[in-house]
């Protein structure tokens, strides 16, 4: 992650912000879990995750037919602090509940 303003622009989209806050809460998720939790189209989620990957904010890892995403381990402390502050402000309750109600979650299966 380069400069703060690029990071803030990444967080200025509701899809991307929710993806990142979900990752903070859950640690690691695959695309179909984002799609279910956020109730958005697959291309939309995939495009935004790809954007976050290109910026070095998240890291992807293929496991069989699934691709798992997590926060990039090299994310600087100030970026973590920003995400933490956003997490305070954002509800996120209903979204995490919808994720929990997803049947046959791939992340739960493997490890």
Partner DNA sequence: TCCTTATATACGGATATCCATATATGCGTG
Partner DNA sequence: CACGCATATATGGATATCCGTATATAAGGA
Bridge partners, residue 58, by sequence: 71
Closest CB 84 distance from DNA, rounded Å: 22
State the CB neighbour count (10 A cutoff) for residue 101: 10
Element (H, E) at 63: strand 58-63
Question: Which of 17/59 has CB closer to a second copy?
Answer: 17
Q: What is the DSSP letter of 8?
A: H
Q: Taking Cα atoms as reference points, which of 34, 63, 65, 61 lies closest to residue 47?
A: 34
Residues engaged in binding a second copy (CB under 8 A): 3-6, 8-9, 11-14, 17, 76-79, 81-82, 84-86, 88-90
- 15 close to 51: Cβ distance less than 8 angstroms: no
Residues engaged in binding DNA (CB under 7 A): 9, 12-15, 30-32, 35, 40-44, 46-51, 60, 62, 64-67, 106
Angle of helix 93-100 versus helix 14-26 axis, rounded to 10: 60
Interacting partner of 43 out of a second copy, DNA, none (Cβ under 5 to 8 A depending on kind):
DNA
Interacting partner of 101 out of a second copy, DNA, none (Cβ under 5 to 8 A depending on kind):
none
Interacting partner of 78 out of DNA, a second copy, none (Cβ under 5 to 8 A depending on kind):
a second copy
Question: Which of 53/96 has CB closer to DNA?
Answer: 53
């Amino acid at each position: 992650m380069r400069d703060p303003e690029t990071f803030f622009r990444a967080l200025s989209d509701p899809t991307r912000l929710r993806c990142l806050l979900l990752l903070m809460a859950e640690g690691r998720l695959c695309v179909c879990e984002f799609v279910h939790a956020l109730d958005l189209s697959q291309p939309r989620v995939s495009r935004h995750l790809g954007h976050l990957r290109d910026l070095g904010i998240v890291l992807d890892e293929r496991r069989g037919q699934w691709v798992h995403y997590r926060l990039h381990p090299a994310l600087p402390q100030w970026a973590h602090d920003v995400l933490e502050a956003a997490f305070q402000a954002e509800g996120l309750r209903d979204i995490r509940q919808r994720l929990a109600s997803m049947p046959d979650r791939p992340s739960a299966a493997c490890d």
